[in-house]
Amino acid sequence: MNEPNRNPDPDLELDALFARARAQRPDTSAAEYAFETRLMARLREKRRPDPESIWASVSWKLSPIFAACVIGLAIWHGQVVRETEAAEQMVYVANPTTFESLHSLN
């Protein structure tokens, strides 16, 4: 029923299997043929933009310009707000009743 253990040391059996695997070298000459050419062709194919995602790639390339436009518009808006507040203050100092009646319309 119970078979006696043929090899008491399992490391010896494992070493024998590794030695047999090292002795049998697979033939890789077919895989080595034109490897660089196939690799470069695959990389070139992956680098080529997908026609559906052309807008995504263009928008990512233009994103620094868009960010600069947003920053410029934010600065310009801040200046316009300061100038408007200064103009409102000058109008209020010159004619306070007119300015209050204009604000009551809002």
| Percentage of the chain lying above the pLDDT 70 cut | 77
Condensed to tens digits (0 to 9), the pLDDT of residues 27-39 reads: 887 777 888 898 9
Domain ranges of the chain: 55-106
Instruction: Give residue for tokens 């409102």.
Output: 88
Residues 49 and 57: beta-carbon distance below 8 Å: yes
Condensed to tens digits (0 to 9), the pLDDT of residues 40-81 reads: 999 888 877 666 677 877 888 899 999 999 999 999 999 999
pLDDT at 48: 72
